[in-house]
Amino acid sequence: MDINTILYIVGGLILGIVLGYVIAKSLEKGKASKLINDAQNESKSILKQAAADAEALKKDKILQAKEKFIELKSEHEKVILSRDKKMAEAEKRIRDKESQISSELSKAKKSNKELEDKIKDYDFRLEFLDKKREEVEKTHKSQIKQLEVISQLSAEEAKEQLVESLKQEAKTDAMAYVQDRVEEAKLTAQQEAKKIVINTIQRIGTEEAIDNCVSVFNIESDDVKGRIIGREGRNIRAIEAATGVEIIVDDTPEAIILSCFDSVRREIARLSLHKLVTDGRIHPARIEEVVRKTEKQIEQEIIEVGKRTVIDLGIHGLHPELIKMVGRMKYRSSYGQNLLQHSREVAKLCGVMAAELGLNPKMAKRAGLLHDIGKVPSSEADIETPHAILGMQWAEKYGEKPEVCNAIGAHHDEIEMTTLLSPIIQVCDAISGARPGARRQVLDSYIQRLKDLEDVAFGFTGVKKAYAIQAGRELRVIVESEKVSDEKAAGLSFEISQKIQTDMTYPGQVKVTVIRETRAVNIAK
């Protein structure tokens, strides 16, 4: 193919392309004009629709605005009406206050006027009274001068004499009144105290327990005596060494006497002998073994006795050591009176008396049972301490209440009484000890002690008679009224009590009563 042909083909192609481009442009131009027309038509329709919607929205908003305006207007009118109403009420209150204030002002003016009138009247009266007072003073002074001239005494001297006479009269009346009240109180107190004590004693029934310093051990035959004595007395020496008890083997048929002040040791010896005689084997080694077992048995029995005693009296919460001390009192005696029986009796008396007085009967029983625990000392050092103080110390050590401790320590006046429980314990202890048959004393020493009491009283000047009564617990002294005055009688009572306290030995307390009597005797003929 030649170049011309190629050129023709290329030219044709280029021409075709150009024509195609022209034709395409013309077609595209027509289509674009159509699209523009359609768009313009659509935009017009949209504008119309938008204008219609805007108009409708405008009308709606205008309507809403009108409604809102009407609503706000009504609310505003309501607020204005309420404010007007409040203002009207405030104005009314103000008018009422003004009227009230005006009326009060008028009343105040009227009261001021009346007050001014009264003040003027009072001023006038005061002036009148001042004048009258001056006249009365002048008259009084003139009368005093006349009286001084008549009585020949000044006013001050007359006043002193009058005051002194009034003092003496008032003092006499006061002393008489006080004496009447004291006598009445004493009578009432004595009657009530006697009533309570008698009721208490009548409601308590106890045995008269007298304890000895010896025990009798009964045997079946006198052959046993030789076995108890042993070869060359070795058995009896072994028993005495192990128990601390003196064994008296004499001609008394079928009996051996055990002598010891300590009831516990005496009881251990009695039980040990009973076991040895029953067993039949009596020799030093066996004796020591039996005594050791018996001591343990007695210790256990002491605890059991203490527990039974506490349970019988209804006392709870007592320390085990105190229970043991209560049990040990079974084997102690005071002036021949068994200490446990005495303490049980005092506990019951205290319970009854405390109930009569409206106090706590359980605490009273507790203090009554423990009041003499100091009489069962556990060591030699404790013996030197008074039993009341020792018992109080033990009670404090083992957690007893202060009322109970004070009652134990004060029942013999070693310390001051701080509660009502303390005098109750003291009284019940005295009742139990003073009961006939409760305590045993040697007749000769008892009679001698009463004579010594009376001799002490006769050693003082002015004593006419002296009587020891109430088993030596009271000393009544009758004095000569010419030699001993009422004031000296009180001093004499104190001096006699101090003399008895320093020179004599006696159980309990001794009450000294000095009696002075004046008699006027005339004979009608």
- pLDDT one-digit tens code per residue, 124-153: 888 888 888 888 888 877 777 776 666 666
* Statement: residue 442 has pLDDT above 70: no
Dihedral sign (CA 50, 53, 56, 62): negative
Using alpha carbons, select from 489, 491, 481, 454 the residue that is nearest to residue 469.
454
- The number of CA neighbours under 13 Å toward the Cβ of 464 is 12
pLDDT bracket for residue 58 (50, 70, 90): confident
Average pLDDT estimate for 89-111? 87
* Statement: residue 436 has pLDDT above 60: no
Kindly give, in sequence order, each residue whose CB lies less than 8 Å from that of residue 296, ignoring residues fewer than 6 positions away.
none
Model confidence, pTM:
0.46
Task: Show the domains of the chain with their CATH numbers.
Answer: 1-146 (no CATH), 204-313 (3.30.1370.10), 320-439 (1.10.3210.10), 444-516 (3.30.70.1350)
What's residue 405's pLDDT? 92
* Statement: residue 443 has pLDDT above 70: no
What tens digit of pLDDT does each residue of 304-350 get? 988 998 888 888 888 888 888 888 888 777 666 778 888 888 899 89
* Statement: residue 88 has pLDDT above 80: yes
The Cα–Cα gap between 274 and 291 comes to: 11
The Cα–Cα gap between 308 and 369 comes to: 13
Kindly give, in sequence order, each residue whose CB lies less than 8 Å from that of residue 119, ignoring residues fewer than 6 positions away.
none
What tens digit of pLDDT does each residue of 455-502 get? 888 888 888 878 777 667 778 888 888 888 888 888 888 888 888 888
pLDDT bracket for residue 228 (50, 70, 90): confident
Beta strands across the sheet bearing 214-218: 214-218, 255-259, 246-248
Q: Are 298 and 271 in contact (CB under 8 A)?
A: yes
- C-alpha distance from residue 97 to each of 83, 131, 358, 376 (Å): 21, 50, 69, 95
The Cα–Cα gap between 397 and 373 comes to: 13
pLDDT bracket for residue 208 (50, 70, 90): very low
Q: 474-479 and 511-516: which strand pairing?
A: parallel
Q: Locate 198 and state its tokens.
A: 């008698």
What's residue 332's pLDDT? 77
* Statement: residue 11 has pLDDT above 50: yes
b/e map of 157-192 (b: 16 or more CB within 10 Å)?
Answer: eeeeeeeeeeeeeeeeeeeeeeeeeeeeeeeeeeee
Average pLDDT estimate for 411-415? 84
What's residue 383's pLDDT? 64
Using alpha carbons, select from 301, 304, 311, 272 the residue that is nearest to residue 288.
272
Phi first, then psi: give them for residue 297, nearest 5 degrees.
-65, -45
* Statement: residue 444 has pLDDT above 60: no
Run of H or E residues at 333: strand 333-334
* Statement: residue 64 has pLDDT above 70: yes
Report the range out of 150-159, 169-178, 250-259, 435-444 with the highest average pLDDT: 250-259
What's residue 471's pLDDT? 66
Percent of the chain with pLDDT over 90: 1
* Statement: residue 440 has pLDDT above 80: no
